[in-house]
Amino acid sequence: MTRGKSRAMQANKPAKLQQKEYQAIAQRKKMKPPVLRNVVVAWVVGGLICVLGQAINQFFISRGFSSEDAGSPTVAVLILISSILTGLGVYDVLGQFAGAGSAVPVTGFANSVVSAALEFKREGLVLGVGAKMFSLAGPVIVYGTITAFIVGVIRALLR
C-alpha cells in the first residue's frame, strides 16, 4: 500500500516537472516574438500604404484639389480599398503578416470597422451591423474626441 503510493507519487513527480518545463518553454516562446522581423515588416508595409496614400493624394491635387482639400478624398479612397479587401478576406491575411504596418494606417481603421460589421452581421442589421460596427474602432473615436475637446478648451482659455 505505502509502496504503491510512493510509486504513484514518483510517477507523478516527473509529470509535474514536465508540466513546469512545458510552461517555462511556452512562456519563453510567448515572451520573445521575432521583434526585428516584425518591426521591419511593419515599417515596409506601413510605409508602402503611406506611399499609396501619397500617390492618391497627388492624383487629386493634379485634378485641381488644393493640397489641403485633397486629404479627404484620399482618405475616402483608402477606406474604400480597405473595405473591399477586408470583405474579400485579403486585408486580414495582410494583417497577420504585417501587424502594426497594416493596423496603424487609416486602412486598418476601416478594416476594424468592416470586419466588426461582417462578424456581427448574423445578429441582424440593427443590433449586429449597426450596433457592433464600431466595437473595435470606438475607443479611437472616443479618446480622440476627448483629447480634441481638452486641447480645444485649454487653447480657448489661453487665448
Among 12, 18, 19, 54, binds another protein (CB under 8 A): 54
- For 33, the 3-state DSSP assignment is coil
Is 94 near another protein (CB under 8 A)?
no
User: CA–CA separation, 88 vs 82, rounded Å?
Assistant: 10
- Closer residue to another protein, CB minimum distance, 8 or 39: 39
List Cα–Cα distances, 49 to 35, 38, 79, in angstroms. Answer: 21, 16, 12
Residues 131 to 150: which contact another protein by CB under 8 A? 133, 136-137, 139-141, 143-145, 147-149
Piece of the chain touching another protein by CB under 8 A; list 1-9, 18-26, 105-113: 105-113
Q: Minimum CB separation from another protein for residue 63, in Å?
A: 15
Is 99 near another protein (CB under 8 A)?
yes
- CA dihedral sign of residues 146, 152, 156, 159: positive
Please give the angle made by the CA atoms of 91, 137 and 140, to the nearest 5 degrees: 125
Q: Minimum CB separation from another protein for residue 12, in Å?
A: 34
